[in-house]
Each structure stands twice: as C-alpha cells, then as structure tokens.
Amino acid sequence: MRKFIAIVLLLAVTGYGIWNAFAAEKTKKVGLSVGDVAPDFALQTLAGETVRLSDFRGKPVIVNFWTTWCPPCKKEMPDMEKFYQNYHSKVGLLAVHLTSQDTVENAKSFIHDYQLSFPVVLDKKQKVLNEYHIQTIPTSYIIDGVGVIRKKVIGPMTYKQMEEITAPLRQ
C-alpha cells in the first residue's frame, strides 16, 4: 500500500510539474508591452536623413508601423496627417514604413498622394519590425516623453482615438 501511495504521489508531482511548465510557456510575454521602455532605433527618411526615436525624447510620440498595400493603413493616414497638423508641437509622429514588405517607390508615391508632412522612415531590413515584434499592420505604439510605452494599438487609429490616447501625455 505504501508503494502504491508513493507511486501516486510521484506521478502527481511529476504531472503538476509538467502542467506548470506548459502553463508558464503559454503566459510568456511576446513582444513589447505597456510599461516597457521602447527600444531606440535609427532609420533613414526618403531624403536620406537619419531619424532616431530618441530624437523625440521630451514629448510623447506615436510610432506607427505601416505599408502602402495595407487598406487599414490607407484608412488611418488622413487622420494621422490631421493629428500631426494640429498637435505636432505637443506630440511627435513617426511612421515606420516596412520597406522590406513593400518598395521605396510605393512609399514615395503614397507620401505624395496622401500629402504626408510627418516624418516617414524606411525599415529596409526589418530590424525595427523584428525588435518591436510587429505581427499586424498597422500597429502603433504611444510612447511618453521619457521613452516608456503607454499604449499599443493594433489596427487603424482615428483622429479621435489619437486625441484621447495622447491627452494625458500632453499635459
């Protein structure tokens, strides 16, 4: 009888250990989350100017990942431009074009057609895409003035959302 109880206990402990290991695996964090420090990066604009995320320190910034062939990206760009026109002195806006999934020529045409005046940088080698673990586009990170991620938005943002999300950071 003692042998039976010992075997049952051994199996129970082993089973619990295995279950716990798999449960921990499922809860592992993927990508960047609210409260994380946003990794700095440096990418070039179409004009060849280098822009760093850290250039925006001191004020909040929206970092938006997009491509020209993405319908939701197209939908949000007029609102992003309007937001930039109204709030650029208080909130930065940096669009990261996923050039590895698109072309520079398409980006040029898109920027011209949508009359975008905010900075657009080219992620030609997927470095920033991978560092930020972007899986869906558009994805936007709202980062405060000291570089901490305050919000992550997957999908297109409206002008109203941009205003509401950044309002506490603009104080």
Q: Is the pLDDT higher at 155 or at 14?
A: 155
pTM for the whole structure: 0.82
Q: What is the CA radius of gyration of the chain?
A: 22
For 66, phi then psi, to 5°, come to: -155, 170
For residue range 85-142, list pLDDT tens digits in order: 999 999 999 999 998 888 899 999 999 999 999 999 999 999 999 999 999 999 999 9
pLDDT of residue 102: 86
For 21, phi then psi, to 5°, come to: -65, -45
Confidence band (pLDDT; 50, 70, 90) for 17? low
Asked if 86 and 52 count as a contact pair (C-beta separation under 8 A), the reply is no
Percent of the chain at pLDDT above 90? Answer: 78
Asked if pLDDT for residue 158 goes beyond 80, the answer is yes
The torsion region of residue 115 among left (phi > 0), alpha (psi -120 to 50) and beta comes to left
